[in-house]
A and B are shown apart, each in its own frame.
Chain A
Amino acid sequence: MSLRGGRESAVRLIATALAVAVGVAMLLATLASINALGVQNARGAWLATSPPAVRSNASPAGQGNSTTPSNIEPLWWLVNTEEFGDQLIVRVDVAATGTHSPIPPGIARVPAPGQYYVSPALEKLLGAVPADQLGARFKGTQIGVIGPRALPSPSDLIIVIGDRAGALAHVPGAGEITSFSTSSSSGGPDSLGSTGLQYVLALLALVLLFPVLVFIATATRLSAARREQRFAAIRLVGATLGQLTVISAMEAAVAASLGVVVGFILYLPLRPAMTHVSLTGQSFAKGDLSLGIIDVLVVALGVPIAAMITARVALRRVRISPLGVSRRATPSPPRFYRMIPLLAGIAELAYFVGVGHPKSAGGQTQVYFSGFLLVMIGLVVAGPWLTMAGSKLMARRTSNASMLVAGRRLSDNPRSAFRAISGLILALFVTSVSFGVITTLLVDHGALGSGSLASETVIDQFEGNNFSSVPSVASVPAAVVDRLRAVPGVKGVTLDYAAPASMKSSSPVPDINGLGGSITYGVLSCKQLKTTPALGHCRRGATLAAVGDDIAFMPVTKSVSVAASTTWPTAHLAHGLTDLRVQLVAVATNGSATTIARAQTILEAAFPFTSSTSQFGEITPQSSQLLTELKSTSEIVIVASLLIAGCSLAVAMAAGVIERKRPFSLLRLCGVPIAALRRIVALETALPLVVISLASAAIGLLASDLFLRSQLGLTLRMPGSGYFAIVLGGLIVSLAIIGSTLSLLEPITRLENARME
């Protein structure tokens, strides 16, 4: 019947199938991206190996390289990270203890001392950048390139350096391994950064699924209105309701199946382009974007089955008698109680701003998880009420005919209007929260504050940051300090010494991060401190200053912005600075990328096994990179969810126009210009999109502000123009998608159609 119902049926079938096809293509692209994240993580799992390897997650070493005998000779192993500009370099130091030591994946053999393998991207970078800015960090000769199967992304910067086992044995954090991890969550120090943030990335990708699924559900409802009217005629000739249900389900299944086939075809040319649009900001390798057999089966079977269920549900909402179609009842309007979860969620987050966050990590997780979850559930539950309230207000006040009709339609069935954008509201909320938090953290820690004293100061941290694996140094050779001072653009070098227990200071050390009492951390020479003002100042006439532990790495504090204006108490030492261990080197620069890279290279070459050099106050480079990745993912999720919502609304709009074909045609016939009808349908669709988008973004930023205030003592920094450009740009493109379907209105309401009804 779908195929033999004449031109109108065919058009309806094709329109539904095309809409489903677009949705299926987007669904496949999203699934492939999520899979690609998994593939990337699996390929990089070997970098998460930590001594001793966790046996349950480990596989036999040297997979694919050689047969490993049972008497494995262990491999000395140490993973560190280094920074170059805003890029992260993973440095792996290895030393074989015998000929049968496990070989890291992607290379032919364990490099001997003085040899190294690099990833293709790092090889290219080493060739392009002067050695004193990067190459000098790695002593030795390159003997090969790391193969693609060991690279999470083609753009990853990785180096595997050969060392002497005897040398590595004395480096804290290094250890012997006999196998490599095959899971990035295998425990131990996460060499590539926080696994938690990786999960957040995956979660963000999953958030994309909601709008896609909503879009597909909307598409399958495209022709419901006209179908119902036709069914009345079929009832007239004796069809039972059961038979109508079967016909309806079959029609939906035919259109959806056709859509699935076309969707798979559409996905194929989409795939190559997607390698450039990574969810994590790092490109995918060819082949990463793959679909498992389960994915294919779920989409191929799930979409038609879901379409059949949707058709069945849609039919239950109407009473089809032989004399026509009527709605079973006007849907009851949503009540105000729908706002309760949202208000409760916001109230919970606000409450902890007042009383302070729980002390335990578990308590914090519980509080914030439940708070954010309540807000998210609240947004979805409150959406129809908000839609109704807004549209009622508009319809009651307006003198504009288009706004009146649009407002009445929205307030009549706000659930239906909201359904098309319910996926968007979650995506925008989650991404706005992440944007708000990330921007605040990055700005506060100077990563974005180019030109600030903090961002111009390079530090190499040796200890005091609670990372037990980080070694300290007995002293910094004078030659290293001299080389640093000789770099053009370097303004000064300050060494921070570990304070001895016997040290006394003139007054308590200021608590500069506002998170509780600061303990004495180190002692600085005032002469040197004068050259690195980002770290603060000495009291007048003092020669030594006692500095607090806040000045060191604190994962998330506001110490960086406060440190520069802090005057540290005077320190008194009986024997001066000699014999004290150095725990931090700070290098003040003129802020130029070249100077910073040169200073970092000198420090990395001098202290290769300590933690990475970074700019002062930067959260660890790993976290910084992951935050940037998170931001990149958020951007993609915002744009994609807005586009998908635009598609959903366009399809919903088409269904709305088809449903009101007769009154619209007759209005047009009465002289109502087509532009006025366009305004009506455009308002019906664009209004919820714009209002809900802005509301969810605003609530997301509010929630992130409440979180930052209570947990971190920070005030939300509004995301930069990039965020607003993305939201507005996405909205404009979505509106353009909606606008493009407005052209449907002309043929559907053509004057000659009116009398043919």
Chain B
Amino acid sequence: MSMAVEKSVVRGDNCLIESREVTYNFGDTPALRGANLSVRAGEILAIMGPSGSGKSTLLHCLAGILVPTQGEVWFDGRRIDSLADKERSMLRRDCFGFVFQFGQLVPELSAEENVALPLLLSGFRRNDALAPAREWFQRLELKGLERRRSGELSGGQAQRVALARGLVTHPSVLFADEPTGSLDSLSGELVMELMVATARDDGTTVVLVTHEPRVAAYADREVVVRDGLVSSLVSPAAP
């Protein structure tokens, strides 16, 4: 896959989420130094970069988890970096979904209860939360694992349950931070295929952090974070 490096950032009318000159410091150490990035609605974007480059920090700023030291973050025409912590929490709960590398499932709950958890937290009744949660087991090839605890699932199965949990509320954006980082290549591929397929079916925007080109290849577009700055890698297949 040949790629050309561009310093500019793709920006368009259909922009759903955007960072503008975002700076973030961990103490005296700068992690981001004026990062600009915009993501279109329905787009699957991969953020790549070496360890410590600031790619996860950028994802956390875009998701409203971290508040940038400087700069702005916009989502759906609304500036979110200036929101109060509670409002950002609500935004994450209602509009965003998340998948992390590992350890995100609540160990006491069964797989289906883990998937239903965001709905229960939003005030759904038990059966109203479990019914849509069970549908995701079918879609993500997890049928029969509904009652298993996280300790009784393989790594790939646990990641698919986490993916189901991230998508069960039909979020506008799914943020995935190294979602295949702890999986073997076969399991990783399955997770990515299902993630991309369901995102496309539902029109969900995906922001994916990975350092694996093979995983990034599932994305519509890839950007690289290096030394706290964002560069675009435009593949020939990119729209």
Q: A404-B113, A673-B89 are in contact. Are A412 and B108 (CB under 8 A)?
A: yes
> What's the minimum C-beta distance from B52 to chain A, rounded to whole angstroms?
12
B217 interface residue, CB < 8 Å from A?
no
Q: A670-B92, A751-B66 are in contact. Are A401 and B108 (CB under 8 A)?
A: no
Q: How far is the CA of A757 from the CA of B106 in the complex (A)?
A: 16
Q: How far is the CA of A412 from the CA of B107 in the complex (A)?
A: 10
Return the CB mask of A279-320 against B: 1 if under 8 Å, else 0.
Answer: 000000000000000000000000000000000000000000
CB within 8 Å: A-B pair count = 79
> What's the minimum C-beta distance from B67 to chain A, rounded to whole angstroms?
10
A405 x B106 contact (CB < 8 A)? yes
Q: B72-127: which have CB < 8 Å to A?
A: 86, 89-94, 96-98, 100, 103-109, 113, 117-118, 120-121, 124-126
Q: Which residues of chain A come closer than 8 Å to B107, judged between CB atoms?
A: 660, 663
A662 x B125 contact (CB < 8 A)? no
Q: A248-288: which have CB < 8 Å to B?
A: none
B103 x A666 contact (CB < 8 A)? yes
B120 x A401 contact (CB < 8 A)? yes
Closest A residue to B113 using CB positions: A404
A405 x B109 contact (CB < 8 A)? yes
B65 interface residue, CB < 8 Å from A?
yes
Closest B residue to A669 using CB positions: B65
Q: A305-356: which have CB < 8 Å to B?
A: 326-327
B66 x A398 contact (CB < 8 A)? no
Q: A676-B121, A751-B66 are in contact. Are A670 and B109 (CB under 8 A)?
A: no
> What's the minimum C-beta distance from A254 to chain B, rounded to whole angstroms?
29
B38 interface residue, CB < 8 Å from A?
no
Q: How far is the CA of A673 from the CA of B66 in the complex (A)?
A: 15
Question: How many residues of B are counted as interface, with CB atoms below 8 angstroms from the partner's CB atoms?
Answer: 35
Q: How far is the CA of A398 from the CA of B92 in the complex (A)?
A: 24
Contact of B121 among A326, A663, A672 (CB under 8 A): A672
> What's the minimum C-beta distance from A413 to chain B, rounded to whole angstroms?
9
Question: How many residues of A are counted as interface, with CB atoms below 8 angstroms from the partner's CB atoms?
Answer: 29
A398 x B89 contact (CB < 8 A)? no
Q: How far is the CA of A482 from the CA of B43 in the complex (A)?
A: 108
Return the CB mask of A654-668 against B: 1 if under 8 Å, else 0.
Answer: 000000101100111
Q: Which residues of chain A come closer than 8 Å to B89, judged between CB atoms?
A: 668, 671-673
B120 x A752 contact (CB < 8 A)? no
B129 interface residue, CB < 8 Å from A?
yes
B118 x A408 contact (CB < 8 A)? no
Q: Which residues of chain B come closer than 8 Å to A326, judged between CB atoms?
A: 151
B113 x A408 contact (CB < 8 A)? yes
Q: How far is the CA of A327 from the CA of B150 in the complex (A)?
A: 13
Q: Which residues of chain B come closer than 8 Å to A676, judged between CB atoms?
A: 121
Q: How far is the CA of A4 from the CA of B26 in the complex (A)?
A: 24
Q: How far is the CA of A243 from the CA of B40 in the complex (A)?
A: 55
Q: A399-B126, A405-B106, A670-B118 are in contact. Are A755 and B96 (CB under 8 A)?
A: no
B106 x A663 contact (CB < 8 A)? yes
> What's the minimum C-beta distance from B40 to chain A, rounded to whole angstroms?
23
- Show the binding face of A for B, using Cβ within 8 Å: 326-327, 397-401, 404-405, 408-409, 412, 660, 662-663, 666-673, 676, 751-752, 754-755, 757
Shortest 9 CB-CB contacts between residues of A and residues of B: A671-B93, A671-B92, A401-B120, A408-B108, A399-B126, A409-B108, A666-B104, A662-B103, A401-B121
A-B contacts, 26 of them at CB < 8 A, read: A326-B151, A327-B151, A397-B126, A399-B124, A404-B109, A405-B109, A405-B117, A408-B108, A408-B113, A660-B106, A663-B103, A663-B107, A667-B104, A667-B106, A670-B104, A670-B118, A671-B89, A671-B92, A671-B96, A672-B89, A672-B93, A672-B118, A672-B121, A673-B89, A755-B60, A757-B103
